[in-house]
Amino acid sequence: MTSVSGLATTFNPAQSITEASVRMFALTSSPDVGTRGPRRSLLALADSLGIEVDSNAVNAVVGWQIAEVLDTEWREDRDYVQYQVTLYGMNTLLWAASANLAMLAQARTVTSNAALEQALLAMPWFMPARTKQEAVDRLCDLAGAPRYRLGRGAKEYVRTFPDVAARFAPHLLGARRTKHEWGALLADEFSVPWSPTAISTQGTVTKEGLNLILAGVERRANVSSAAWATAAHEGSALVAALARDLPTRWDGRESIDWMRENGSTKWYGSEWAGWFFEEQVRAILNERYPSPPVGGPRVKYGATTFDYASPTRVWDAKAHTAWSQSSPWDGARPTKASSPLWLNDARAMRGCIEEQGLGFLIVDGLAGLDVEGIFRQWIETYGARYGKQPSTYVASTGTSRPRKVEWTPIRLRALWIENLYELQASVLAGWLWQKPQPDWGAGEQRRARNDKYQARLGAAGPWTVASFEWGDIG
């Protein structure tokens, strides 16, 4: 199991409406597995908060109702425009709902099983037991006591609770107590909420009550049932999810339009493939393995925000053009790229690696280059339609590089750097190095930038924990 000590509690805003929608849906514990667009996510969140919503109400009104219950501000032109909720508005509700979960998790008493289930979402280290039998089995394992089968009517034995106390809170032993008394006492001891509804009419502890005690015991034992045992196990799961759901061909026009429609602030520019991959990673992985709404690893270091956090690890997404060819294709063999891969701000990387390790999800691909300049003209025209102006930057060569008009993923891999020792070993192995960046601006506006790390992955085999190949470039 992975340690859960030192987990941060900052809010990481979603970068697209798609990401916000899947994260919002994860807040609700809804069993619905249907399409998780903004409306379905808003309705699921409203339902989890006990809000009766008119089925004909537009999204902006549903958002306002949720904001009212969560006591947060809801502004026109910021949180919603006409009938639709903006990305800012989705983040407003995500932040408020996450703060509400945090308050529930810190409460000593709540009034319903629904509130108990919500409180469990604020415990990023914990994977709730699916049945009472599983909850009792896991409590017995942590207490070092023999497992047993539940009695008639799924009744747990009262001895389960003093067994837990003997291992983790021996000062509570010495008095005879009912299951209800033991549940309330252990919940208080482990600083988790409790509710009168955690006791059934037959006097047994409900699954929700057992899960809360189990979550508290796991925290006391410093283990995480929600985490993968190793970075290799986690990397394999993340790579498998991305390999299954990533588009196998990225059309530049379609990708830019998708990002703009989803509220991304990075849709306009020549490096659209890298931004598109980041948005896809956040959307796909938050659908399959949602980032914790409260707690979870720290993702922001200085001005750098890494792309994705599981309950216990942080990952950043990078798209690397490993090969290129003309588009339309002229029949020539693709050209292998000679340039290294840019990673992140060196100070941010070192800070994250020192605190908790850092992983990279890197996709190598084949870029189709706009040698005729048609795509460049399209980008400028499309951008102007939405108030964007083309860059005035001129390369030192006096000519600009052809834009990527399409991009085909070839190989996906997960790399993991566990600590500063492994970071230094990566540098000594020759696949990772630190490189200064040119200053921003000119004249009085000129300012220095931190160094970045660059990489060539040929010698990164020992740090590669998982990989997948769609096929070669032929």
Average pLDDT over residues 430-446: 81
What is the phi/psi pair of residue 193, to 5°? Answer: -65, 160
Average pLDDT over residues 244-258: 95
Tokens of 289: 């393995």
Is residue 30 scored above 80 in pLDDT?
no
Confidence of residue 31 (pLDDT cuts 50, 70, 90): low
Greater pLDDT, 242 or 441: 242
| Residue 446 neighbours by CB distance under 10 Å | 10
Is residue 195 scored above 90 in pLDDT?
no
CA nearest neighbour of 404 among 248, 284, 275: 275
Per-residue pLDDT, 410 = 96
Confidence of residue 35 (pLDDT cuts 50, 70, 90): low
State how far the Cα of 386 lies from the Cα of 389, in Å rounded to an integer.
Answer: 9
Average pLDDT over residues 347-376: 95
CA dihedral (185, 188, 192, 194) positive or negative: positive
Is residue 1 scored above 80 in pLDDT?
no
Confidence of residue 393 (pLDDT cuts 50, 70, 90): low
- The helix (run of H) or strand (run of E) holding residue 453 is strand 452-455
Per-residue pLDDT, 296 = 83
The DSSP output letter for 175 is S
Average pLDDT over residues 3-17: 63
Confidence of residue 199 (pLDDT cuts 50, 70, 90): confident
Q: Which parts of 327-403 are beta strand (E)?
A: 335-336, 341-345, 358-369
What is the phi/psi pair of residue 330, to 5°? Answer: -100, 10
Please give the model's pTM, rounded to 2 decimal places.
Answer: 0.85
Is residue 329 scored above 50 in pLDDT?
yes
- No. of helices (H) and no. of strands (E), the chain: 15, 14
Per-residue pLDDT, 54 = 83
What's the mean pLDDT when you consider all of the chain?
Answer: 88
- Residue 13, preceding bond cis, omega within 30 degrees? no
CA distances, 310 to each of 176, 237, 253, 344, 416 (Å): 42, 11, 31, 19, 14
Greater pLDDT, 276 or 118: 276
Q: Which amino acid is at 189?
A: E
The DSSP output letter for 352 is H
- The dihedral over CA atoms of 440, 444, 445, 448, expressed in degrees to the nearest 10, equals 40
Average pLDDT over residues 57-81: 95
The fraction of the chain above a pLDDT of 90, given in percent, is 60
CA nearest neighbour of 253 among 66, 118, 381: 381
Per-residue pLDDT, 460 = 95
Per-residue pLDDT, 401 = 77
Per-residue pLDDT, 265 = 86
Residue with tokens 């909850």: 135
Average pLDDT over residues 235-259: 96
Please write the tens of the pLDDT for every residue from 341-354.
999 999 999 999 99
Per-residue pLDDT, 338 = 82
Per-residue pLDDT, 4 = 36
Please write the tens of the pLDDT for every residue from 399-417.
567 889 999 999 999 999 9
Confidence of residue 373 (pLDDT cuts 50, 70, 90): confident
Please write the tens of the pLDDT for every residue from 49-62.
888 888 789 999 99
Query: Which residues, including other chains, have CB under 8 Å from residue 125's CB and lie 6 or more apart?
Result: 4, 7, 215, 218, 219, 223, 224, 225, 226, 227, 295, 311, 312
Average pLDDT over residues 222-233: 89
Confidence of residue 5 (pLDDT cuts 50, 70, 90): very low
How is the chain split into domains, by residue range? 28-120, 132-221, 231-469
State how far the Cα of 118 lies from the Cα of 106, in Å rounded to an integer.
Answer: 12
The fraction of the chain above a pLDDT of 70, given in percent, is 92
The DSSP output letter for 329 is -
Q: What is the DSSP string of 42-99?
A: HHHHHHHTT----TT--HHHHHHHHHHHTT----BTTTEETTEE-HHHHHHHHHHHHH
